């Protein structure tokens, strides 16, 4: 018999996972609880299964084999506590989808007899319909009780996800990895584009100039590893050029110079690792 699942939170992540779990028969989506009747029904319509429950009506939730908390990080503890007070949880699985918080935030559910875990899909969910159709191969960082993961891992494999066990004690560092790989990468590229423009190059042309350099560097990192992919003055040991660049950038823009300076020491260390290979 397909295990039942209740979904708390009707945002993009919850909707996508709910739709995929239902479509692949991993879980039977039973109820979807969100802040309003409208958003709950929209989530149900997107998922194609379940019934809508609105507001703080946790007492309207029926017992389920699995409860998924797909709410904002700042709401997880409160939602878990409300769930534990309203619904019998003994023997069930309760998991959240945060990349920054570990499963120990679900202690109220564990105290109520549940098994707890976290599952973090490493994707951008800006377009949930597109993600739902292109989810195959998505990595998901997982941690928590072994018995909870024994239930969740087959469900993730059923939707063609790739579960990757992570150290719960390093969950925040794990999440920072995504920030480095995505958010801060954009910040560094913005600095490059602005520096090109400071040299009189129009912004559209600057993007065209930076694109092949950035794309090839990224491709080399993923093909060869970061140390082997490093090139440029620090990799060559040309610190005189680095110093001239830093002075010039400082005369142009102090904040960007601070960013440049902050990256010198880690890049020197990366160059050292390159030479040791």
Q: Is the pLDDT of residue 55 over 90?
A: no
229 confidence band (pLDDT: 50, 70, 90): very high
254 confidence band (pLDDT: 50, 70, 90): very high
> 1 or 156: whose pLDDT is higher?
156
Burial-class residue 54 by CB neighbours within 10 Å (0-12, 13-18, 19+). middle
> Model confidence over 157-214: pLDDT tens digits?
999 999 999 999 999 999 999 899 999 999 999 999 999 999 999 999 999 999 999 9
Q: What number of residues does the chain have?
A: 277
pLDDT of residue 269: 98
Average pLDDT for the chain: 97
Whole-model pTM over 0.85: yes
pLDDT of residue 153: 98
56 confidence band (pLDDT: 50, 70, 90): confident
* Cβ–Cβ under 8 Å, residues 71 and 79: yes
Domains of the chain plus CATH, in order, are 4-166 (3.40.50.720), 173-276 (1.10.1040.20)
Q: Is the pLDDT of residue 28 over 90?
A: yes
> Model confidence over 217-228: pLDDT tens digits?
999 999 999 999
Q: For residue 214, what are the contacts with CB-CB under 8 A and spacing of at least 6?
A: 189, 192
pLDDT of residue 201: 98
pLDDT of residue 277: 80
Residue range 110-115: average pLDDT?
Answer: 98
Residue range 128-151: average pLDDT?
Answer: 98
Residue range 127-133: average pLDDT?
Answer: 98
The DSSP secondary-structure symbol of 181 reads: I
Beta strands in 14-65, from DSSP E residues, in sequence order: 28-34, 51-54
- Rounded Cα distance between 249 and 265, Å, is 17
């Amino acid at each position: 018999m397909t295990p039942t699942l209740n979904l708390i939170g009707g945002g993009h992540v919850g909707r996508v996972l709910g739709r995929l779990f239902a479509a692949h028969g991993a879980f039977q989506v039973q109820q979807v609880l969100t802040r309003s009747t409208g958003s709950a029904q929209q989530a149900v319509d997107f998922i194609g299964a379940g019934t809508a429950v609105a507001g703080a009506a946790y007492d309207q939730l029926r017992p389920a084999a699995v409860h998924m908390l797909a709410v904002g990080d700042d709401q997880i503890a409160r939602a878990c506590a409300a769930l534990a007070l309203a619904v019998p949880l003994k023997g069930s699985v309760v998991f959240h989808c945060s990349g920054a918080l570990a499963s120990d935030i679900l202690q109220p559910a564990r105290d109520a007899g549940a098994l707890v875990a976290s599952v973090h899909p490493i994707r951008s969910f800006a377009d949930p319909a597109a993600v739902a159709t292109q989810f195959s191969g998505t990595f998901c960082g997982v941690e928590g009780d072994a018995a909870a993961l024994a239930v969740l891992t087959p469900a993730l494999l059923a939707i063609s996800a790739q579960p990757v066990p992570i150290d719960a004690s390093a969950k925040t560092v794990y999440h920072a990895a995504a920030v480095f790989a995505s958010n801060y990468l954009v910040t560094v590229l913005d600095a490059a584009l602005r520096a090109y423009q400071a040299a009189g190059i129009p912004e559209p042309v600057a993007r065209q100039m930076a694109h092949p350099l950035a794309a090839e560097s990224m491709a080399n990192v993923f093909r060869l590893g970061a140390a082997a992919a490093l090139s440029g003055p620090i990799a060559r040991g040309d610190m005189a050029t680095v110093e001239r660049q830093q002075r010039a950038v400082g005369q142009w823009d102090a904040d960007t110079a601070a960013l440049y300076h902050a990256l010198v020491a880690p890049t020197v260390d990366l160059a050292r690792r390159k030479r040791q290979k």
